[in-house]
Structure formats: C-alpha cells, structure tokens
Structure 1
Amino acid sequence: MKFLKDKEKETEALRRTINEKDEQLQLMKSAFIEKQMETEALLQRVYQMEAQLQQSRSALIKKEDEHEKLNQSFQAFHQQQNHNARFLKDKEKETEALKRIINEKDEQLQLMKSASKEKQMETEALLQRSALIKKEDEHEKLNQRSTCKEKQKETETLLQRVKEMEAQLQQSRSALQEKDEQLKSFKDRVAGEVAVSIKTGKTMSLKYPVNKNRLKEMYEDLRCDWPKIKKNLKSNKKHPDSVKELILKEFQDAKIDMRNRRKMIDKVFEKGKNDGGMPQKVDQYRQLTVQNLQMTLYSQKQDAGSQKPFLENEAANPQDVLKYLGSECYWLGCLMALNNPPLQPDWENHPPSMDRWDVFPRNIRTASDYE
C-alpha cells in the first residue's frame, strides 16, 4: 500500500510539471487525470477488499469450514494486485513518454529562438545596407551633376570641332566627286574587256569565279570528307542531332549573312540608277561586285591554306573537327548564296533514313530569297 501511495505522489508531481511546461498538452493531461481517477477507484476497491478480508479473517476464527473460501478470495485479491502492478508500469511508461515530449518541445522552442535571433540580425544588416545605398545614391547624383556640366563643356567644344570638320568634309567631297567621274570614265572603257582566266586548281572565268559546276564539286568534296568526320565524332561520343544542328545552322547563317550583303550592294547600285546612271551598266557593275565578293571569299580560303585536322586519326580533338566542319559549311554556304541564282543543299528532298548520321543531301538546288 505504501508503494501505491508513493507512485500516486510521483504521478501528481509529474502532472504539475506538465501543466507548467506546455499548455498544448492539456488534452493529454485530461487523459492522464482520467487514468488517475481509475487508479483511485481501483485503490478504493482494494480498500474495500481489505475490509472484506478483515471480516473474512474474523469469520475464519469462528468458521474453519470457510477457510477454503477465504483462501480463494485471497488468491483473487493477489491477482488484482498483480493487475494493479502492471497498470502502474503502464503509467510509468506513459509518464516517460510525456517527459520525452516535453524535452522535444523545449528543443523546438530553443530552435525557434535561435531562428528569430538570426532573422533579427539579417534585418539589421539590411537596414544598414539600405542606409549605405542611400548615401551612395546621393553621392552618385552629385557626381552626375558635376559630370553633366563637364559633358556640356565637352559638347560645345565638339560642336565647334564638327563645324570645322564639316568644312573640311565639303572640300573632300568635291575632290571625291572629281575622282568618281574619272573612275566612271575608266570603268566605261574597261567593263566590256574583262574576260581573263584564272588558275586555282580548277579552271574558272572571272565572269563566273565560282560557277554552279564548281560549287557542286566543292559540295561533293565535303560529302567525301563526311565519313571520316562522322567516324571521329562517333568515336568521341558526339550526338548526331547536335552535329546536324551545327551543320544546318552554319549553312543558314551563311545564307542570311550573304543575303544582307547583297541587299547592301543592291541598295548602293539602286541609288546609282536613281541618280541617272545607265540601268544596263549599273546592273553589270552590281553583278561584278557580287562576283568579286564571291571570288574574295574563295581566294581567302585558298590563300590561307587548308586547316583540315587529321581526320584519319580517331583520337583527334573532336572540338577541332567540329570547328573545321562548321567553318567548311559556312564558307561553302557563303559561296552558294552569292551564286546567281543562289544555291543551297537540297534539304527538302533529303529522304529520311534510319541512320541518324545521314545529314548531307545528295544534291544542291536553287534557293529562294524568302526561305
């Protein structure tokens, strides 16, 4: 009985601690109080059974024949005590669980305090940074005002210099106009006499520096190099889709760049027509200019020499191979775009293949300016 009373006191002390620590455990406290009431009821029952036992012991003195019945009652009481002991152990486990919950709540509260302190420090730092930025902004405005005054003085000086340069430019324009008249006279004399053959490994005329047949030959040379290029890229784990995208991009970029250059040339010679030039000669000079641009691009590549990597070596740097491939596609695309009419690989009629490395069409075709 003393053991039960001690346990009761310990449970009461724990209940008071739980009430002080966390109001959120109120529901659990209520359940605990209910359990305690059950314990008190059981204790009351025990007291009643003890009274009955006392009566039974008195009756035992008087009635020996009831000894067996009292013995059975005592065994039942012993079982009830065992049950109470197990119940108390369960209560101890519940108490330990409540202690752990209280500790966890304390840890969470500590973490929240630490987080709050960090946020406060961050806020103070931001306020300090805001004040510093405000000061810098004010300083910058002062500097801008000072710079604006200096710029105004520089602008006045530049305007004066521009006026002087305009006077000089007018003199230069007069001299240039005289030179243009002399050059026009010279072109009129020699325009119909230009028909010279040039050797660059292939026979070409100056009128058609890189004609359609030559462009087909150069495209076939690129297609002949493709198996070696493809072998190197495949051995270096390059993806065929990315390689195909590079090839298409270089041909497309070349077409767009050369189209823009031709538009610039057309614009210049269109002005010549509007200024009273002979349309036939203006068109002739325009075509010669495009052909000269085409010949320049072709000659620059030939004069610089081949930068082709050693394609037979599978261990060659794949980046060098890709760079060479892109350069060749762009260069050939420029020459095709400057042809009259412009040409391009026949992408539309290139049949789909199971081989994802089958990129280059077999033929080239005339390209529209609007593609």
Structure 2
Amino acid sequence: MCYDSGMLQAYLDHELKDSEREEIDRHLTGCAGCRKKLQQLMDNQQFTEQILLPYFGSQELNHQDKVWLNLQKTLGKKKGVLTMLRKYRTATAAAAVILAVSFSLSFAPVRALASDLLSIFRVNNFQTVSIDSNDLAQIQKTMRKGAGKVALGDLGHVDMRQSGANGGVTLAEAKESVDFPLLVPQSLTNGYTLKHIQRTAGTTLDFTLDTHKTNDVLKSFGATTLLPDSINGKTFTAAIPVVISASYVGPENQNLMLTQTRSPQLTAPSQDVDTIRDAILALPFLPDNLRKQLASVNDWQHTFIIPSFNGSSQTVTVDGSQGVYMSAPQGTNKESNSERNALLWQNNGVIYALAGNFTEEQGLGLANSLK
C-alpha cells in the first residue's frame, strides 16, 4: 500500500508516532514511487525554508536557532497556528508568507454581504514594514514568558476542510484546477526546463472565537487591551484557494519556482475587524518601531503587509501592478546556486510569486514575460 502526500508530509514534519515512522521507513526501502513522491515534497519544503529562514534569522544563528523554528515551537508543534498553516503550505516561501501574514492582520475587504453583517477580505495592495533581529528577539522573549505553547484550538473551535487532492499534475490538469488563466514564462533562457508542477488543494478553515480563552492568552503576554464579549462565539472563515506551483531547473541545478493562486479570503463579522486589530496593535511585546509602522499603514484594510528584514524587501511595479521584491539579507546564502530571492505581486485577484536565484531586474523581466 502506497502512502498519500498528506501522510508523507506528516512524516517529514515529524508528526507521526515512532511506530508509524518506522513502518514508512520500511515501505520506502522497497517503493520507488513513494520515494519519488517524498523527494518532491522534500524539494518543495527545502526550497520554502531556504527562502523563509533568511528572513526570520541571521547568518549568526544555527539551524535550530532560526526564528521560524523557535516561533513554531513557542506556538506549539502539534496544533499550533504555524503548524496548521504549514500543513497546507504552498511550495514556495512567497505563498507561505501570504498565508502566515494574511491570517495575522491584513486582508483587503472588497464587498459586504447584503445584510452588512459580514466583510470579505482579500489581498489588494502591498506594503513592507521594517523589522530587524532585535525586534524578533524581543517578541520571542516575551512569548516564552507568556502562555508558552498556544494552539489555535486553545483560542476557540477549529474546523478544517480540504477540497481536491494534492500532488503532481500536468500543465493541462493544472489549468483545469483554477478559474483564471494560468500563466507561463516566455523568456526562460540559459537551459531552464520545467521539472515539476504541484497542485495544492484548496482549504477552508472555520474558526469560532472563544474570547475568554483568547483573553487569558493575551493577559499572559501582559496585554491590557482585550477582546470584548460581544465577539465571543463569532465565526471567522478563511478560504485558501487551489495553488499551482511550477518548478524549473537550470543547467547547474539552479531552482526557479512560479506560484499562482487566487487571493486567500477571510470572511469576518465586519464590526469586529477594528476591535481585533486594536488588540493586536496593543500587544505589549510588539516593538514600538513595528507597532508605529503597523498603526500608520494607510488604508490598512486594503493592504497586505510584508516584513522587510534588514531592508531585504522593497516595493516594485510588475506589469502595472504593485508588488514586492524580497532578497536574502546580506551575508546569507553565499553560494550562488543556493540564493533564494522572491518577487510577489497580484493582478485582478490572482497572486503570483516567483522565487529563485535572480536579481530584481531579472525577476521583473520574467514576471513581465508571463503569458
């Protein structure tokens, strides 16, 4: 019996019992198909981490000290927020940033339901905020002293549903999986060839907030601005559409990945959005520098916020649309083949992300060649 991608991903994430891992180890020894599937998952995961880790840590930190890993441990490994998002992560760091940051603060409301009781949020604009290793260290220190391991389930009730299947697909199958024209680069040179196309199934998460539990967590962090009882029991629905990621490889094993997806969408009680934002901005462990930047974001409800670690992100224009170019902080990824930069933008409700070893000019050239 072969294992599906979900079980193999759990194997990679160390979420299985020892007996289950041993069983998969034995199976992999004799199954070339599962070994190939596992290798594809490992390639995607490694590529994601190679982009994420430079933004969440510095070259002085070893692997176990990276901020991404520390935050994951702090929030809880089994059912924590980051772990739950990682289960449904895309194959590129840019898309992972979309999930992690969007669910934290910044979706763009595009319309209200007729009852005016709900708001629907989607990514519309982009803006970077500066953050450095000292800011991250301050956040980590406070969180360690606070509630410790916090699972999303500790803040309310969670229900997750997945539509479709994850796995490798053909270009034709990928086009059939989305409701927008799937674009491909027209200017790939230097021997780059298409290696693999990965489809990540759409996921819907319903989160019913328990303000009593959430306020207990906020208090453990020293917060005095708490959530009101009026939003207790309110349900927030996050929809993550199907994600298509195409991986290209160069003559010297350079990786280039293009990800395309509809904007993640959050449906929330409209009158509660500002209340939650105020509570987030009032968290005492937020460095003043970061708090001021977030509070001063113009039209915050239409803005997708991307962290710029030590000046590693900057706003650019892609085919007439606003986007962000993200480069690895200076001093990381010294080997040219391992450099991981990313270009992220949106157009007509579709989010695009390029990730690989390219300069800003090269990335913009690739992005503008998509057809």
The alignment's TM-score, normalised by the length of structure 1, stands at: 0.19
Q: Which has the higher strand share?
A: 2
Higher relative contact order (CA 8 A, sep 6+): 2
The alignment's TM-score, normalised by the length of structure 2, stands at: 0.19
Q: Which has the higher helix share?
A: 1
